[in-house]
Amino acid sequence: MLDGVFKLLGDYGNMVPRYTGPRCLSERLSVGGCDLCQQACPHDAILIPQSVVIDPSACTGCGLCVQACPSGALEYDVTAPLNAVREQKASAIKQGGAKLVCSKSDEGGKTLPCLGRVTVSTVMAAGAWDVPLTLVHGDCAGCSLGGPEVPASVLRVTEQANVLRGATMRAAQVTLRPHDAALAGSGEQVSRRGMFGAMARGARSTLAQSIPDSPLPFVDWSEPADRIPAEWQWRVRALRPAPAPEAAVYWPAPVIDDTCIDCPVCANVCPTDAIAREVQPDGGVTLVLSLAACTGCRACERSCPPQAISMREHWRFDALEQLILLRDSGNILQ
């Protein structure tokens, strides 16, 4: 029994999301900065003096800041909810699909601390696996963990996921609903404040349904692959069934016109180093975009001094596997 208790504490003990400073638009000195995470937090747990600072005593782990972050600077482990959906794929026909349940609901199902943890990639993956997904929330209006903003935020995530899935011609089937009182008692409530109460009602039952919340390792910025948030890597993987190579995929990313002055600003503010700038031996400058690494945060567009950058919303599907030449200024020494 004690082993189960300690496991439960470990699974739900990592309330604060991982913060990767080089991905934060504030640390990147993007024009206008970014305070979307601070605006989204219902508990005033986030301060942004120069970079994001999270008060662990105020953070409940609801995930709303992660949903709002445009660059992946804040994140939880995306593989845990993805695996929870995948595990339910085999029984989807019998049970009517996969189900993710907020910890404030008594209804049975794979349990997240809050539906604020549901990200675009999870919804996209459910569509790729052709698994109808039901998202069950508790009484958000009076919730001290997430708050009344959660359902609207989850709807935005779902809408964004299906816009991205547009090229697959198969939308994710998602139902967002409040918990069903008739199913009360079929699941366990798990929240930080109510942890020991949940244990008293049966830690083993809770553990069977809880989605593990393991700490993420620090990002090794010297590894280019680590610069791309797992959320965006899974968004690419979840574009299944694969569209035709020439199919138009919604993936907002920058293009550069001839008013570019070859300054380094766009590369400097890019939170994932999706834009690479190289000065050639002849004095020319090239700018190359890794499309799959672009999060569409628009920091480059807002920060460009001559406003030479605009966002192109649709690209060929096969461009996600390519490097795209944005700018080649040629030999400027002649």
Residue 135 has what pLDDT?
97
For 293, list phi and psi in degrees, rounded to 5: -85, -10
**Per-residue pLDDT, 13:** 52
Q: What is the pLDDT of residue 232?
A: 98
Of the candidates 126, 115, 137, the one whose C-alpha atom is nearest the C-alpha of residue 92 is: 126
Can you tell me which residue has the tokens 């913060």? Answer: 19
Look at residue 321 in the predicted model and tell me its pLDDT: 94
Q: Could you read off the pLDDT tens digit of each residue along the chain, which spans 334 residues?
A: 334 433 333 444 558 999 999 999 999 999 999 999 999 999 999 999 889 999 999 999 999 999 999 999 999 999 999 999 999 988 766 778 999 999 988 888 899 999 999 999 999 999 999 999 999 999 999 999 999 999 999 999 999 999 999 999 999 999 999 998 777 654 433 344 443 444 344 344 444 577 887 789 989 999 999 999 999 999 999 999 999 999 999 999 999 999 999 999 999 999 999 999 999 888 899 999 999 999 999 999 999 999 999 999 999 999 999 999 999 997 554 4
What is the token pair recorded at 114?
């809050």
Q: Is 97 exposed, middle or buried (0-12, 13-18, 19+ CB in 10 A)?
A: buried
Helix then strand then coil, in percent of the chain rounded to 5, is: 35, 20, 45
Predicted pLDDT at 283: 86
Structure tokens at 221: 């910025």
Work out whether the CA dihedral 110, 101, 207, 76 comes out positive or negative.
positive
Strands (E), 185-229: none
Q: Give the pLDDT confidence score for residue 334 in this predicted structure.
A: 47
pLDDT tens-place string over residues 14-36: 589 999 999 999 999 999 999 99
Q: Is 122 helix (H, G, I), strand (E, B) or coil?
A: helix
User: Taking Cα atoms as reference points, which of 263, 223, 266 lies closest to residue 29?
Assistant: 266
The pLDDT of residue 208 is 53
What burial letters (b/e) apply to 101-134, b meaning 16+ CB within 10 Å? bbbbbbbbbbbbbbbbbbbbbbbbbbbbbebbbb
Please tell me the predicted confidence (pLDDT) of residue 192: 45
Query: Which residue is it, tokens 């959660």?
Result: 150
